[in-house]
Amino acid sequence: QVQVVESGGGLVQAGGSLRLSCAASGPTFSNYAMGWFRQAPGKEREFVAAISWSGGTTVYADSVKGRFTISRDSANNTVYLQMNSLKPEDTAVYYCAARRLQAAEVTPSKYNYWGPGTRVTVSS
């Protein structure tokens, strides 16, 4: 069983930066692909970024490409989402998810474990 918990959300002005962290528990974390998703009020959950088990493959939504960077520290069972040049439209609850397979995926249903989320608010 894998548990994931996000942290690092908060209020930031447009153009600012935040780094989200996702701490995962479980002995096989290094074998899991990880993803970040977000859900804005009144909208469906959407893909943000994903990383393969090795960290060798990363995938980004077009809306965040060039601004967000996903990375992982398997020694510390942690995944990060560095968010730069934030925009008001990035405001959402951000969720970390773990997948029992090694390949990064963009579809929420492909992930097996989810964190409770951390709220990010970007003011204009």
- Tell me the per-residue pLDDT of 72-112, one tens digit each, with 9 for 90 and over: 998 889 999 999 999 999 999 999 999 998 899 999 999 99
What phi and psi values does residue 86 have, to the nearest 5 degrees? -65, 145
Q: How far apart are CA 105 and CA 110, in angstroms?
A: 7
Chain centroid offset of residue 13 CA: 20
Q: What pLDDT is stored for residue 105 in this prediction?
A: 95
Q: How confident is the model at residue 67 (pLDDT cuts 50, 70, 90)?
A: very high
- Tell me the per-residue pLDDT of 25-62, one tens digit each, with 9 for 90 and over: 877 778 899 999 999 999 999 999 999 998 899 999 99
Q: How far apart are CA 68 and CA 16, in angstroms?
A: 12
**Residue bearing tokens 């992930």:** 111
